[in-house]
Structure 1
Amino acid sequence: MERTTATTLALTASLVLLATLIQPGSALKCYECNSHNDSRCAQEEPPQLLGKDCSTHQNAAHKYTLCRKIVQTIEYEVNGLQPDTRVIRSCGWDDTTYKNACYQRSGFGGRQEVCSCTTDLCNSAFNTPPSTTAVVLSLAVTATIALLGRVN
């Protein structure tokens, strides 16, 4: 009987913790800017006022579920464009396996690195840290398993 009570208590505690981490209706917030128009966008940590609520975008075909940072480099003059590097940050969507990852593309005269992430204002730097929710959730699961192991 004691084992069932401990298991129920551990499961209930985990569910309560999970419920407090999930915020229904909260929208993703990303930095949105282009360093070609606003030099602050090229900073490693852009100003907070460049953060935008992604739910304000209207697109019937896609739901904005991630933040994106693109670094475009034009290596030499092409079609009248001088060598340049631009940083573009935005809300986005992606139906591929590149969520929370980076990839590179290159072509005639230039290249770009595209990184995406799924937590608020995460498109500030190249490396996307693990989300706080994921870390706390993994700690809760580990604690629950440890507690269940003691009861057995």
Structure 2
Amino acid sequence: MASFHYMIMIVACATVFAMMFHQGEAIKCFVCNSHNDTRCAEKPPPEDLNVDCSTTKGGSKYTFCRKIIQIIEFSVNNLPPDTRTIRGCGWEEGNYKNKCYQRSGFGGRQEVCACDKDGCNGAATVKATFGVLLAAVVVFFARA
């Protein structure tokens, strides 16, 4: 009976481990703008907004995901005060990969974050969830 439990643990661990790596070179990111689709501001956004960046227009090789929070503090150019969340694929990495930075100007500011894991421009990623699941499985079988 104990060997059956160990076999289940090995299969579960192997499955979780395999899911933690990128499949191929394409990255999947949430792509949306809360100005056009209010679901984009949700944490996390709906899964149907998570797309394979290799299918987006532009022909660039996307290597990371980007999330921008844009805050318009007062009416500028006939635009009312507003907060927008913009998520998308990115290719110009510079020094900001896996980092955030802020910019501000007349009437507004924005925070821009870039990350290099599938779906990382949403809230928590699926991979983190599987990591927690793996830890729970190991603890469960270690006590058995």
Aligned mates of 1:26, 1:95 — CA distance in 2: 16
Over the matched positions of the two proteins, sequence identity in percent amounts to: 58
Deviation >4 Å, runs of 4+: 20-24
User: What is the CA deviation profile of residues 90-118 of structure 1, one whole-angstrom value per residue up to 9, with x for unaligned ones?
Assistant: 01112311000000000000000000100
5+ residue gaps, structure 1: 1-19, 136-152
Matches within 5 A, 1:45-84: 45-60=44-59, 62-84=60-82
5+ residue gaps, structure 2: 1-17, 132-144
Aligned mates of 2:36, 2:84 — CA distance in 1: 10
Instruction: Give the structure 2 partner of residue 96 of structure 1.
Output: 94
Instruction: Give the structure 2 partner of residue 8 of structure 1.
Output: none
Helix, strand or coil for the counterpart of 2:26?
coil
Instruction: Give the structure 2 partner of residue 144 of structure 1.
Output: none
Aligned mates of 1:29, 1:23 — CA distance in 2: 10
Q: Alpha carbon RMSD of aligned pairs, Å?
A: 2.2
Residues 1:106 and 2:109 are matched in the alignment: no
Matches within 5 A, 1:1-152: 25-60=24-59, 62-125=60-123
Q: Which has the higher Rg, Structure 1 or Structure 2?
A: 1
TM-score by length of 1: 0.65
Aligned mates of 1:23, 1:111 — CA distance in 2: 33
Instruction: Give the structure 2 partner of residue 147 of structure 1.
Output: none
